[in-house]
Each structure stands twice: as structure tokens, then as C-alpha cells.
């Protein structure tokens, strides 16, 4: 279901009304908890206005030099002199990656590795939609269209937003044992707003810096400061930075609250009022809440009122009762770090690594500089960085280039698909039952154990599937988790590896999809119908020939890989067809093993 932010004006009074009554229960359940909108936190203060840009980013269709016979073997470092700079200027490049890359590639006289359209479309679909494209998607939405338009269309899809929500779920470690499920939903909603272009990346960073997803996930103020440095700047803080920024996290504390609708005790962030006297008034001159390393910012000095309760060791308040102005104060650490140029450089580097798999900005520093200026020119819209890299020559190169080249950026990326993407691709290509793990609820069993109708309803509204017996369908989760996806986030996160275990799991799933041994119907929903594996003109019981075998392989490769077979692949198909024909082989008896061979191949794992 598509969700939209509520404005502060409309949302805050209702939120505070029931949050203030949490200890004694609330008579209006809709105001306190809604299974369709369970999020609670600073996301409710975000604007519901138009996107901060129109999404029409520049640089999507640069014409760059291509030399298919190039054997450029230059070694770093590359120096770009006057002639090099003049040549780059003459190219009239508008893409920021291309502008920076020119000083290390075309300007000095080099060239990359040309890519074919099918390879480019396939790569783009995995990177923006999370799965391989079908042949019809490639034909109708990608091939023979301006590349900038294709990228723009895919960046506006719900699948693109969901994929990046999953990236942030991994980075922030969503875990309902450590953080309230309401807060996880809330942070997910903030990420959604970021990738829909409704908030700028620096605003996102400010919200994150004081969000319980970070403050409750870590135990001490120093740990919180260090976590923020890693997420926003990509490095650990120096000792003085850690201790000084940690002072801005002095007020945060970890505790629990009993949720009256879910019937569960949830972990959440609290405010422990420090730097105040016994009467709750600001204590003058207190250094515990004052930052000197970042400009003598007397940050987070809040005074308790009727929302707080007095305990023996001071005043305490649930963070769910914070007002808009208090949230704003608490977000000071994020706003300070966003003033650092490294903040924007790291944002660019994260997107570069996401799509290229290597640190291009280190090899060609001008790329990072151009991307930072580009993001700022586009009001901090994170989508602009995605657009720039996906439409760049660095991305639009074939992975079949010279892999011994000293300059990594002279050939395109070759990456391993995520576990979810691999399974979702096979499901989509064979119309099998598509299931998912919910990225916000990593422990669905805890919600079933609560015996609460609201907890059960929350699961039904999530991406988890609850069967007729009231149990979680874990088949998808178990398969994907064995392949490194659907991370639990309590002990470990996502991983990618090629091993005996993962290969065995992949082969087993491909077997269930293709049924190469023709074991027949056993009620498995994964098994593809034979109509999906054969061209319309070839019947399942038709005797196989070399020609029909080649046509079957061609049909399946177009469907699974989005490309036609090479000459060698066609020869191999014909040879297998002739061998099969000698034993009076039927089309189905050839098509199902062919399906298994293709879906278990490296081309279905790497892209």
C-alpha cells in the first residue's frame, strides 16, 4: 500500500494526545496504533509536499568517444595536461561522472569497453528493480529508447524505493529485539521519503542522527557518536570528535515500554534529563551537554515538564512524547556533520560502490568533486547521484573488458546479485509464487506469540505471509537466508559468498523450478509449467530435433538472459538435441533440463 506523510499540523496533536495517555491506555485505538500506519516518531514531522526537484536531472545522454579497438594500457597515476583538459572541454560533457572521468580516460587518449544494449538493460534492472528483467520488459521499456529516459522511469518506481529501503535496513540493522517496531517503521518511512525525492539528503541525515533507530541501537553516547560518523562520513571519529559529539547524545537513554495494543514490551529510546538541577531547571555552566569541538554548541539542554517522571537518579521521559522543537534540538549532531564536505563525498561514494563495486572517486578524484557539486545543485536530492552514475560511461561499459588493465574504470562492473534478487528473478520468470521477507520485522514469531489481535493484524499487513493455520510461511526466508539475504540483524547481516552450501541451495531451488527429472506434480508451487519453457510452435510431446532443440534454447535464453545464444551455444544446443533425439526424446524432456542448466548457470548469479 502506498503511504504518504502526514503534516505536522494535522498529525502532532493526535499523536501527543494518545502518547501522553500511554501509561494508562488510550480509548482511541486509531490514534494510538494503526496496523496500516504503525510508525511513530519524527517521520510524522516531515513535509508531505511536492518533491524537492522535478527529477529531470542533467547529463543523461552524453556522447563519449568509443574506440572498439582500443588497447590502452596506461598505468596510474594519470596526468591531465593542457591538451587533455582542452579535449575534455571540447566534448561538452554534462554528466558529472563523465566530466571527472574524462581527465583520466578520454582526455589522455584512452577509451573504455563498449557495452551492448541487452547487457546494459539487464544490469540496470538488477540495480534499480532488484531482479533480472523479463524479455518483454527489456523490449518494451529499455531497448531502443534514450538511456536517460529509461533510467528516469526506473528511478520513479516503487521497486527502486523498496530496494533502497532494504539497503538502509541492512546499514542500520533493523532488529525488533533492539528497537521498537514502531520506530523501525518510522525510519523506513523516512527512507521512503528520501528516495521519493520529498526530503534532501542532509535533512534525512539530521533526522537519522536523533532517531531511536540509532540512539536505541547503541548503548553509550560515545557509541552513538561513532555510529553516526560511520554512517554519514564513512570513517570512525577521532578521539576528541567521539567524546565531544558524544556530549550531544548525553540525554539519550535506553529503556522499554509496554504497548497496550500489541501486548508486547518494546525497547525504545528515552530522554534522561541531565544538565538540570533537582528542580528540573537548566544547570548553568554544565559542560556535560556542551560541545566545544564543533563550535561551542550548547546543544541538548531540555527541561522536564509534566510529561517526565521524577526518579531517584533524575528525570526520565519516553521519547515518544518529544515535541517538534525538541526533535529539532536533538538533531543538532546530524546538522553539524552535514556541513562537512566529506559528508557529501561519502554520500557519492556509497552510490558509486552500489553501482560500480569499486572506489572510482579515489582513482579519479575529480569524479567525487563533480558529484558533490551536482548533488548540491540539485538541492541535495539523493536520486540525482543515482541518475548521474547510472547514466555515466563508467557504468555503461561491458564487463567483458581487459580485466588485467591497470585502470579499473576501463571496463564495466561485474557483480553478484543479492539472494532476494536471484530468487525473485526465478520466481518472476516462471510465474512461481512470489513471497518476501519483511525488512521491518525480522522476528515475526514474537508477534504471533503475543496473542494480540493487533500484532497478528500487523503481520498480515506486512510482507510476511500468514497461512490458514496462523503460522508464518518461512520457505522463502529459509532459502534466502541460507544464501545470505533476509538478514536477522541481531547477530549478523547480509553476506555474499560462493560456497558448497550456497551452490547446493541454488541448485536445489533451480531443480524445484525446472524439474529436470520430470518427477511431475507433487503440489510444489515453484514448478514452472511447460508452456513457459517452450516456444508456442513446439508442443510438449513433440519429438525433439537439432533444430527444435536450438529454438528451445534460444527461446529460454531470450526469456532468462534477455539475449540470443552465441554461435557456440547454438552448436551445443543442436548437439544435445541430436543426442536426445536418438533416444526418442520429447520436447519437454529436453526443455526442463535446459531450463535447469540456464537457471543454475553463472549468468543467473553474476551480472
Q: Determine which of 49-53, 121-125, 499-503 has the lowest per-residue pLDDT on average.
A: 499-503
Which helix (H) or strand (E) covers residue 270, if one does? strand 264-273
> pLDDT tens digit string along 556-601?
999 999 999 999 999 999 999 999 999 889 999 999 999 999 999 9
pLDDT at 284: 56
Calculate the alpha carbon distances from 454 to 33, 66, 177, 379, 436 in Å.
9, 60, 18, 40, 21
Q: 151 is written with which cell numbers? A: 533510467
Q: At which residue does the C-alpha cell 561519502 appear? A: 346
SS3 category, 33: coil
pLDDT at 448: 93
> pLDDT tens digit string along 308-318?
999 888 899 99
pLDDT at 370: 98
pLDDT > 90 fraction of the chain, expressed in percent and rounded = 75
Contact 294, 244 (CB under 8 A): yes
The radius of gyration of the chain from alpha carbons, rounded to an integer in Å, stands at 27
pLDDT at 434: 64
> pLDDT tens digit string along 286-298?
667 777 777 656 5
Contact 95, 120 (CB under 8 A): no
pLDDT at 201 > cutoff 60? yes
pLDDT at 50: 86
pLDDT band at 133; cut points 50, 70, 90 = very high
pLDDT at 380 > cutoff 70? yes
How many CB atoms lie under 10 A from the CB of residue 598?
20
Calculate the alpha carbon distances from 185 to 48, 181, 211, 440 in Å.
17, 6, 12, 6
pLDDT at 19 > cutoff 60? no
pLDDT band at 523; cut points 50, 70, 90 = very low
> pLDDT tens digit string along 460-509?
999 998 888 888 988 899 999 999 999 999 878 899 888 877 889 999 99
Q: Determine which of 14-28, 93-107, 304-318, 344-358 has the lowest per-residue pLDDT on average.
A: 14-28
Contact 195, 95 (CB under 8 A): no
Select the more confidently predicted residue: 2 or 198. Answer: 198
Long-range contacts of 448-453 (CB under 8 A, 24+ apart): 448/472, 450/262, 450/263, 450/264, 451/263, 452/261, 452/262, 452/263, 452/264
pLDDT band at 77; cut points 50, 70, 90 = confident
Burial of 277 (0-12, 13-18, 19+ CB in 10 A): exposed
Amino acid at each position: 500500500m502506498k503511504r504518504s506523510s502526514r503534516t505536522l499540523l494535522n498529525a502532532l496533536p493526535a499523536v501527543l494526545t494518545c502518547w501522553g495517555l500511554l501509561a494508562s491506555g488510550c480509548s482511541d485505538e486509531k490514534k494510538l496504533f494503526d496496523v496500516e500506519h504503525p510508525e511513530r516518531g519524527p517521520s510524522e514531522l516531515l513535509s508531505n509536499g511536492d518533491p524537492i526537484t522535478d527529477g529531470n536531472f542533467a547529463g543523461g545522454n552524453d556522447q563519449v568517444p568509443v574506440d572498439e579497438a582500443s588497447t590502452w594500457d596506461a598505468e596510474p597515476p594519470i596526468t591531465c595536461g593542457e591538451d587533455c583538459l582542452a579535449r575534455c572541454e571540447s566534448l561538452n560533457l554534462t554528466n558529472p561522472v563523465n566530466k571527472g572521468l574524462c581527465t583520466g580516460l578520454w582526455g589522455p587518449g584512452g577509451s573504455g569497453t563498449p557495452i551492448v544494449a541487452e547487457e546494459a538493460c539487464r544490469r540496470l534492472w538488477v540495480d534499480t528493480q532488484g531482479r533480472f528483467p523479463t524479455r518483454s520488459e527489456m523490449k518494451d521499456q529499455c531497448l531502443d529508447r534514450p538511456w536517460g529516459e529509461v533510467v528516469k522511469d526506473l528511478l520513479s518506481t516503487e521497486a527502486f524505493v523498496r530496494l533502497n529501503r532494504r539497503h538502509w535496513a541492512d546499514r542500520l540493522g533493523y532488529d525488533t529485539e533492539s528497537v521498537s517496531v514502531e520506530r523501525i517503521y518510522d525510519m523506513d518511512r523516512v527512507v521512503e521519503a528520501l528516495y521519493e525525492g520529498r526530503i534532501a539528503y542532509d535533512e534525512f541525515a539530521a533526522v537519522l542522527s536523533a532517531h531511536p533507530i540509532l540512539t536505541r541501537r547503541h548503548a553509550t553516547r560515545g557509541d552513538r557518536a561513532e555510529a553516526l560518523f560511520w554512517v554519514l562520513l564513512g570513517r570512525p571519529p577521532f578521539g576528541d570528535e567521539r567524546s565531544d559529539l558524544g556530549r550531544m547524545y548525553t540525554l539519550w537513554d535506553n529503556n522499554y515500554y509496554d504497548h497496550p495494543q500489541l501486548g508486547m514490551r518494546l525497547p525504545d529510546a528515552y530522554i534522561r534529563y541531565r544538565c538540570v538541577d533537582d528542580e528540573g531547571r537548566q544547570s548553568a555552566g554544565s559542560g556535560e551537554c556542551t560541545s566545544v569541538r564543533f563550535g561551542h554548541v550548547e546543544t541538548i539542554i531540555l527541561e522536564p515538564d509534566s510529561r517526565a517522571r521524577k526518579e531517584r537518579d533524575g528525570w526520565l521521559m519516553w521519547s515518544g512524547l518529544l515535541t517538534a522543537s525538541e526533535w529539532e534540538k536533538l538533531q543538532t549532531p546530524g546538522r553539524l556533520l552535514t556541513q562537512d564536505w566529506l559528508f557529501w563525498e561519502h554520500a557519492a561514494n556509497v552510490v558509486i560502490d552500489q553501482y560500480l563495486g569499486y572506489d572510482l572517486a579515489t582513482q579519479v578524484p575529480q569524479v567525487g568533486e563533480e558529484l558533490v557539486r551536482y548533488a548540491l545543485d540539485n538541492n541535495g536530492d539523493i536520486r540525482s547521484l543515482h541518475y548521474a552514475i547510472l547514466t555515466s560511461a563508467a557504468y555503461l561499459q561491458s564487463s567483458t573488458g581487459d580485466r588485467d588493465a591497470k585502470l579499473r574504470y576501463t571496463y564495466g562492473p561485474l557483480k553478484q546479485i543479492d539472494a532476494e534478487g536471484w530468487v525473485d528473478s526465478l520466481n518472476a520468470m516462471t510465474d512461481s509464487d512470489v513471497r518476501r521477507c519483511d525488512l521491518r520485522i525480522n522476528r515475526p514469531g514474537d508477534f504471533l506469540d503475543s496473542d494480540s489481535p493487533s500484532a497478528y493484524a500487523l503481520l498480515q499487513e506486512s510482507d510476511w505471509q500468514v497461512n490458514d493455520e496462523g503460522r508464518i510461511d518461512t520457505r522463502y526466508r529459509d532459502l534466502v537466508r541460507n544464501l545470505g539475504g533476509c538478514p536477522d540483524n541481531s547477530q549478523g547481516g547480509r553476506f555474499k559468498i560462493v560456497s558448497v552450501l550456497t551452490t547446493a541451495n541454488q541448485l536445489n531451488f533451480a531443480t524445484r523450478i525446472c524439474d529436470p527429472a520430470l518427477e511431475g506434480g507433487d503440489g510444489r508451487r515453484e514448478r514452472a509449467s511447460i508452456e513457459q519453457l517452450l516456444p508456442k510452435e513446439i508442443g510438449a510431446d513433440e519429438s525433439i530435433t537439432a533444430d527444435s532443440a536450438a529454438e528451445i534454447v534460444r527461446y529460454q535464453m531470450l526469456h532468462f538472459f534477455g539475449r540470443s545464444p552465441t554461435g557456440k551455444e547454438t552448436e551445443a544446443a543442436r548437439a544435445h538435441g541430436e543426442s536426445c533425439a536418438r533416444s526418442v526424446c520429447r520436447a519437454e524432456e529436453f526443455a526442463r533440463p535446459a531450463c535447469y542448466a540456464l537457471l543454475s548457470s553463472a549468468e543467473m548469479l553474476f551480472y
